[in-house]
Amino acid sequence: MVLAMAEFFALHHIITHVLLNKDSYVETVNQSPYFAGIIAGSMTWVGYAWVTRLVTQPPNHPFIHLEFALNMGLCVYNFFRAIMLDPGTCPRPVNDGELKAIIEDLASEGRLNGQTFCIQCMQRNSSLQTLSYV
């Protein structure tokens, strides 16, 4: 178990620092398909193991296999749908006056919160982005 964890850490470090070749860990991993590849690979491996080891056995639990197949299909569908969706973008405020106007508009509407305005990047969130926080 300890060797497996050490191997995972070493491979993760090599991929994120050497192959992606960036100084900042957060920017490189978030802008690359690294985590999506881990999830897709895991779903592929679980599906392969299920088909080769459990489905080919005598039919002891057909409803459990059906339920697993439906859940696996639903997970794969939603995962690839989430990858393909465009979260939308909002233009950044050009100057402080425009930023102040955006903040005043949201405050007057009573919608100035973390779902409609990003404090870290100081810009308004799009409507699709606000749905992803819920």
pLDDT on residue 43? 95
User: Does 91 map to a domain?
Assistant: no
Helix (H, G, I), strand (E, B) or coil at 114: coil
Task: Tell me: do 69 and 109 sit in the same domain.
Answer: no
- CA 72 to CA 56: how far, in whole Å? 17
Residues 80 and 30 in one domain: yes
Q: Which residues pair with 123 in a beta bridge?
A: 118
Whether 9 and 62 map to the same domain: the answer is: yes
pLDDT attached to residue 23: 64
Location of structure tokens 């470090």: 13
The answer to whether residue 126 scores a pLDDT higher than 70 is no
Q: pTM score, two decimals?
A: 0.59
Range of the domain at 19: 2-84
pLDDT tens for 28-81 read 666 678 788 889 999 999 999 999 988 887 778 888 889 999 999 999 999 999
> Is the residue at 18 inside a domain?
yes
In a domain, 125, yes or no: yes
Q: Would 9 be classed as within a structural domain?
A: yes
